[in-house]
Structures are given as structure tokens and as C-alpha cells.
Amino acid sequence: MSTKLYHNLIGGEWLPSRSGKTFQNINPADHSDVVGEFPASNAEDVDLAVAAAKKAFAIWRLVPAPKRAEILYRTGELLKERKEEYARQMTREMGKVLSETRGDVQEAIDEAFYVAGEGRRLFGKTTPSELQNKFAMSVRMPLGVVGLITPWNFPMAIPSWKLFPALVAGNTCVIKPAEDTPLSTYNLVQTLMDAGLPPGVVNIVAGYGPDAGAPIVEHPGVRAISFTGSSEIGSLVAQRAAANFKPVSLEMGGKNAQIVMEDANLDLALDGALWGAFGTTGQRCTATSRILVQKKIADEFIGRLVERARKLKVGNGLEAGIDVGPQVNAQQIETSQRYVEIARSEGAKLLTGGEALTAGAHANGTFFAPTVFAGVSAKMRIAREEVFGPVVSVIEFDTFQQAVEIANSIDYGLSTALYTRDVNKAFTAMRDLEAGITYINAPTIGAEVHLPFGGVKQTGNGHREGSEALDFYTTWKAVYVDYSDKLQRAQIDNAE
């Protein structure tokens, strides 16, 4: 069977890259399965895409926001119809199990319906003027052409978090999907087009970061950048964008802690730990990578955690009964292996896993065994640095205050969880944990689209996706209407 060849979407046309080069999208569970062949784009392609988006902006910005929103609503309806098809294709290209890719598409559906409602809620403010016969108000305005750079772990959900609010606000977009998972973004944009999105409003430029992503960041015609990825690359994006005074929204890494107090429901805490640590094969910025357990219950909790981790079935996410899919590529396997060796050298105790799975059904993919370390101290690298794989560290503590201090002792601040029956500790944790998200008696993963999503410290730069995304994709204009029919000078004529 021949491999399907995809092109860039520029001005409503599917065009090959000006570079003449392509790359293959490979199923991480079965390397013999080529999902598709995509263009390896360069700066010329970005120039064309930005020009198309700029041309489309002249028309799109004048479409009333409620009408723009109707396209998003239709997109949500179409995504519902195509959910199973898109989920299966996503599992092929990204690897996570089918129930999770269905959830990924569902998140895009939720985002479509939520943001469609924002088309009638792009509120400004009216306020009294300090002068007589003068009206004052503020209104939201679109930015223009925005550049979107998205990761591979949520290849439809995260593009929807960026595209939909940008579009309802009246912007046009150039999006570069991750090279490991371009098809899901293509499916999302195709659905937008089928729902009636005009040509050029969204343009896709596929390819690698240095060749296609960097030119988007640096392009003078791109007014803002939204990036989700590693803190290391996010820092480079911010630095390059700063040269043109370009606003940047960054959503980056995490080293998320689940705190388990001695009064917790241990069955619930174990369920949350397993889902948080090994869901999406640990490849999510909100993954539970540190489990902080009060010493009185540590032995019981660790024993049960290891027993259940060993029973998790690793394999092709399209197969029934699979709990954990592959890592997305060989580089991620190498990272997981490297951190296992780092942890061992630091004195951490490997209780299960710690190795790539390469035999039998795992021979043709990039699989890694669910891994649990105990005997971990808060100062170890395995407790401080993001692995982005199915590797979790257990840290023991004495007091609640000590647990909060350990949770806060890292450079990241995305998601946290506390398991306890003590309402006082719950509210203290909500106040004191340094994170953009805190869950009580729930795992570190599970964000919903109508709440703000993002973090503090090296996780983000202050912007939020979800409910607060419109603050990034719009700019404010103050408007004054003087109907006095005479010159009035603010701060001068009313000084007496």
C-alpha cells in the first residue's frame, strides 16, 4: 500500500514545500506502519503562509465574532461525527491508547463548543469619562497573524486550545504541528475548512523546529507566538521573539507532585498515582512524576504501587486491554534510559521497570516499562528534572509542611495534587502549593477547557490557555467619543 503524501496548506491550497523535501510519520508501536509523508518546510514556505494569512486577515477581522463562532460550533459537531476515525489515526501516529486519543478529540470538541460561546462574550468595558459630554469605553481587537507551535503529546487538543480562541477573536493563523504527529492537526484544520472556514485563515506549515518553527517565531509579519513544548526550547522562542517585541505565550515543562497524607483514601490515591504517572506513557506536562508519601503509610503505599505498576500491560494502543502505549520515538526512550541511570547513580532504588521493552510484541516499536523509584530524596536530579516518560519517583516525608516545601522546591510549577480527608490541609495546599493547578483527591492530570491552564516559574510566562486564552489573542483599544462640540482637555479642563 502506497504512503499518502500530504502538503502544506497555504491560502486554501495544498502545496508541496519549496524545499522539495519530506519526512515520514511513523507509528511508534509498529515502525513498519508509515502513517503519512509530510513536507519538510523552510522559511520560504513560512513566507508564503504568512502572506496568505495577512491577506485573509483583512476580511476575517471584519466577520462578526458571532459568525466566526458559528464555524467553530459546526467544527465541534463534525468532530463528534469523526471522533472514532480521528482517534484511531492519532493512536497510530502518537501511540497512546485508544481511550486516551478519544479523550484528545473530545477535548477539541469541548473547546470548540466552549469557544464558540465566546463569540458573543468578547466583552469590553464602558466607564464614565472625567469630562462632561464625553463617552469612554474599551474594546477587544484581534492581533493579526499569529504563529502557533504545538507539541506531539496532545496533537489535536492543544492545537484546538490555540486555534479556536485565536480564530474567534478575529486573528488568522500559521500553525506548525510537531513533526511526530502532524496528521491530527491536519485533521483538525480540515474539519475547520469543512465547517466553512475561509481560505487563508488557517495555514499549516509542517516540518522541523529549526527549519519551519524558527522562521515563524522570527517573521516580522507574525504578531504573536503561542508555543507549547520544553522549557529549553520555550526560552529560545521567547528570546528570538523579543527581538521584535513580539508577545509570546509559553506552556512548558512540569515535575508534578502528588502528596499522599496518612489519612488519605489509599485506594483512590493509588488509582490517581497510576493514572497520573503512566497515562499517556508519562508523556504529558501534567504527568505525576513525584509521589510524596507520608512515612507512616509509605511501605504499604509503595508496595501496592509497585504491584499494580507491574501488572500494567504495555503495547499497541489500538489493541484491547492495553494500559500503556509506546513512547513517541527513540529519542524519548533514550531520555528515559538516561534518567534511570542517573537515578541509580544517585542512590535511588529501582523497584520495577527501568528498561526498554524490545522483545516479542514490543520488537518493532519504542516501548518502555512502567518504572518506579523509591529511596528518592528531594535533591536528586530524578526528583527535579522532567523525564517525560513512564518514570515516577517516590519521596517520603514526615509533616504536611515538609511535603509542601518539597513540592515547591523545584524550578517548575504546573500541576499538584493532594490526597487527604483534612479540609484544613486541603485549603492550605490550595493556597501554598506553587503551581498553576491544584487538585484535591484527584490526580495531577484532568484539566477542563473552561478553566485557565498553565503554570508558574519555568513552566510558563504568565499567560494561560483555556478560559483566559482570549487575553492573549486580543489587544485592548480605548475609545473616546466627545459630543460636547468643543475642545476638552483631560486632566487640564477639569483640574479645578
The string of pLDDT tens digits covering residues 112-157 is 999 999 999 999 999 999 999 999 999 999 999 999 999 999 999 9
pLDDT, mean of residues 340-347: 98
CB 47 within 8 A of CB 212: no
Return the beta strands (E) in 78-218 as ranges.
125-128, 134-142, 145-149, 172-176, 202-204
Q: Is the pLDDT reported for residue 8 higher than 80? A: yes
pLDDT digits (tens, 9 = 90+) for 42-58: 999 999 999 999 999 99
Per-residue pLDDT band for 496 (boundaries 50, 70, 90) equals: low
State the average pLDDT over residues 279-292.
Answer: 98
What pLDDT, in 10s, does the model give residues 73-97? Answer: 999 999 999 999 999 999 999 999 9
CA-wise closest residue to 178 among 157, 199, 200 = 157
Q: Spot the catalytic one: 285, 386, 396, 465.
A: 285
**What's the rounded mean pLDDT across residues 453-470?**
96
398: burial class by Cβ within 10 Å (0-12, 13-18, 19+)?
Answer: exposed
Residue from 160, 161, 166 nearest 60 by CA: 166
DSSP secondary structure, 292-315, as one string: EEEHHHHHHHHHHHHHHHHHPPBS
* Whether pLDDT at 1 is above 70: no
pLDDT band at 494 (very low <50, low <70, confident <90, very high): confident
Distance of CA 74 to the CA centre of its chain: 23
Stretch 315-326: mean pLDDT, rounded? 98
Q: Given this model, what pLDDT does residue 2 score? A: 83
The pLDDT value given to residue 64: 98
Q: What is the reported pTM?
A: 0.97
Answer whether residue 399 shows pLDDT above 70. yes
Predicted confidence (pLDDT) at residue 460 exceeds the cutoff of 70: yes
- Would residue 285 show up in a list of annotated catalytic residues for this protein? yes
- Residue 410: pLDDT above 90? yes
Share of the chain above pLDDT 90, in %: 99
Active-site annotation holds for 405 = no
**What percentage of residues in the chain have a pLDDT greater than 70?**
99
Q: What is the pLDDT of residues 213-237, one digit of tens each?
A: 999 999 999 999 999 999 999 999 9
Catalytic, out of 93, 107, 179, 251? 251
What is the average pLDDT score of the chain?
Answer: 97
Asked if 455 and 414 count as a contact pair (C-beta separation under 8 A), the reply is: yes
β-pairing verdict for 415-419 and 256-260: parallel
- CA atoms within a 13 Å half-sphere pointing along the CA-CB vector of 134: 16
